[in-house]
Amino acid sequence: MIRVELKAWTASFRFPTFQSGYQPTLPVPPPSTIQGILSAAKGEPVYLSELPYVGYVFKSDGRGVDLEKIYALGKVETDIIKREFHYNVELYLYLPDCWEEHFRRPHYQLLLGRSSDVATVEEIKRIQLDEKEAPLGGTVAPINLGLPGMVHSLIVEYDYSSVPRRAKLVKPFIVLPFPRTGAEKRRQTTKALYDPELDIGVYLHRWGE
């Protein structure tokens, strides 16, 4: 398995229930964002349900709020909304070895949300993870793990064979922010693969099974 480290100044992930006048960001990227990153790296649509596994961990230094001018559809009027974003972000992808060549020379820009959230590849490293009791965080997990957290129905992957694209696979998840305190780590602890360098558990999704 390899671990790909991406870094970016900013990131934002669309909240499933859009709120008019204020656009919050999800605490972690949804699986569809991971699909977009892998597709950009490879240069063609990638479907997560066809991969043997994929895991990810996201962390940031905090969140800010930006002001954004929007245009109403079919009208000349504009409006200003507040849009939340993460800053100084890191995303770690856990992938089969065959993905190393795609991230050595990504085909397209790697984006952590919007077109302005450009990410760079900082490191690609072969890594071995052992199973133990560890806190999960910076990711989404299946609800049957029983961990406490915000539950959302998220798109796993889009079908790019039609225009516009359409949701191909949607599942409910527990959204688990990267734990910062001892209490958060204890609350999110379960049996998982453990990355000792990040001191975090890694959940490997196997959507093809």
Tokens of 97: 């070895």
Region 56-62: mean pLDDT is 97
Region 38-62: mean pLDDT is 97
Q: How confident is the model at residue 13 (pLDDT cuts 50, 70, 90)?
A: very high
Region 58-79: mean pLDDT is 87
Q: How confident is the model at residue 19 (pLDDT cuts 50, 70, 90)?
A: low
Give percent of the chain with pLDDT exceeding 90. Answer: 82
66-88 as b/e: b if 16+ CB within 10 A: eeeeeeeeeeeeeeeeebbbbee
At residue 200's C-alpha, the angle toward residues 197 and 201, to 5°, is 125
Question: Is residue 10 scored above 70 in pLDDT?
Answer: yes
Q: Which of 147, 151, 152, 155 is nearest to 188 (CA)?
A: 147
Tokens of 126: 């072969």
Q: What pLDDT is attached to residue 76?
A: 77
Q: What pLDDT is attached to residue 18?
A: 64
The backbone torsions φ and ψ at residue 35, rounded to the nearest 5 degrees and listed phi first, read -60, -40
Question: For residues 54 and 205, is the Cβ–Cβ distance under 8 A?
Answer: yes
Q: What pLDDT is attached to residue 144?
A: 92
9 class by beta-carbon count within 10 Å (0-12 exposed, 13-18 middle, 19+ buried): middle
Give percent of the chain with pLDDT exceeding 70. Answer: 99
Question: Is residue 100 scored above 90 in pLDDT?
Answer: yes
- Per-residue pLDDT of 128-180, as tens digits, reads 999 999 999 999 999 999 999 999 999 999 999 888 889 999 999 999 999 99
